Amino acid sequence: MRTIRVNWLLSLVALSLVAAACGGGNPADTNDAGGGGGSGSDIGVSLAFDVGGRGDQSFNDAALRGLQAAIDEGLVTQENTDFIEPNATGSNRDDNVVNFAEQSYDLVVPVGFAFSPGIDKIAPDYPNVNFAVVDGFACLEKPCENVSNLTFKEQEGSFLVGAAAALKSETGTVGFLGGQQGTGLIERFEAGFTAGAQEVDPNIEVLVEYIGDSTTAFNDPTKGEALSAKLYDDGADVVYHAAGASGAGLFKAAVAANKLAIGVDSDQSLTASPEQQKVILTSMLKRVDTAVHDVIQQVADDAFKSGTQVFGLAEDGVGYAVNEFNDNDELLTQDIQSQLDDFKQQIIDGEIKVPSEP
């Protein structure tokens, strides 16, 4: 593997403050660009971000944390890594992947389901490059030995935060804010959230709003704020988002309405403003960092797994966060956490079947 140009700059400085908690635990720490990776293997790893890019406080940032964890553990050296941002619409995502493949990286991680159709065409042209697509559905009809889809049981983690929402709701109405509608992915978040809320209160009302039908829906915090305000105005007192960077609008609306919000993908209380931290009940953790770290480990061990890898509650791939900036006696109380942990075990044991469609 030849030496690879480095594009880290100072991007990880902000992320150094970010750490997600899964079921009350802590993830791998994320250091700044100067730390770790001194004794890594000679593999090359690159990330191709999707719309929202670095700083989305969601799945793109989570992928970057997974890469940094691999650097810290010595699985890869920092100088053998790189990442690239898409344009505003993501129309150049395939070009970005090809750019990395042409540089002969051992592993390219496209961060987002929208990369999947392009990977179908790109992967066969680069048989010596491994591709791991976050939320991917690439090469399903014609399997590729060099492609792995890193998928999650988002509905399981969403079930837990749906239950939390119902346990905290005083109005009997909660809300869901989705990003892109129509792919089946965000609908899994909605399905699990609704099921969890109804497990606690069969009569609870779940209001639903989607931002749009393209990937740009994940990068529109202004519309996210407007739709969140509508959900609160319509009676919801707890709203959960699965909308990427658009979810920043939810937290603004929650502060304005003095109502509760639930984050997604990472513990979003860690990157929220002080006033927003007070209204974040919890966050559904989607451990993209775990998945990215694990696939880097596979490549380092020459044990890349093609096909589809699934991360659910049993695999520590999803979970919920405890907002440590708040008094848990007022928000996510120990009693609520105990109930969520009981639901978690029932799901792992198969006693509760969480739907994947609304």
Q: H or E element: which one contains 282?
A: strand 280-286
Name residues whose C-beta falls within 8 Å of residue 1's C-beta, 6 or more positions apart in sequence.
42, 43, 44, 80, 104, 105, 106
Residue (of 85, 81, 152, 100) closest to 309 by Cα position: 152
Residue extents of the structural domains in the chain: 11-152+287-311, 154-285+323-348
Determine the Cα–Cα distance for residues 58 and 246; give it in Å rounded to an integer.
10
Determine the Cα–Cα distance for residues 193 and 179; give it in Å rounded to an integer.
15
Determine the Cα–Cα distance for residues 193 and 229; give it in Å rounded to an integer.
19
**Best CATH choice for the domain 11-152+287-311 from the list 1.10.10.10, 3.40.50.2300, 3.30.420.40, 1.10.3330.10:** 3.40.50.2300
| pLDDT, position 19 | 35
Residue 270 backbone phi and psi in degrees, to 5: -75, -20
Asked if 147 and 306 touch (Cβ cutoff 8 Å), the reply is yes
Where does 135-272 show beta strands of DSSP type E? 147-152, 173-180, 205-212, 238-242, 260-265
The 3-state DSSP class for residue 113 equals helix
Q: Quote the DSSP letter at residue 111.
A: B
User: What's the CATH architecture for 154-285+323-348?
Assistant: 3-Layer(aba) Sandwich (3.40)
| pLDDT, position 39 | 47
Residue 194 backbone phi and psi in degrees, to 5: -65, -45
**What pLDDT digit, counting tens, does each position of 236-268 carry?**
999 999 999 999 999 999 999 999 999 999 899
The 3-state DSSP class for residue 305 equals coil
What DSSP assignment string belongs to 23-71? Answer: TT--------TTSS-TT--S--EEEE--TT-TT-SSHHHHHHHHHHHHH
| pLDDT, position 38 | 41
Residue 107 to residues 134, 189, 287, 305: CA-CA distances in angstroms?
13, 28, 19, 12
* Mean pLDDT, the chain cut into blocks of 10 residues (358 residues total): 42 38 33 40 94 86 95 96 95 97 98 97 98 97 96 98 98 98 96 98 98 95 98 98 96 98 94 95 95 97 97 95 77 95 98 97
Same fold across 11-152+287-311 and 154-285+323-348: yes
Determine the Cα–Cα distance for residues 249 and 227; give it in Å rounded to an integer.
9
| pLDDT, position 21 | 32
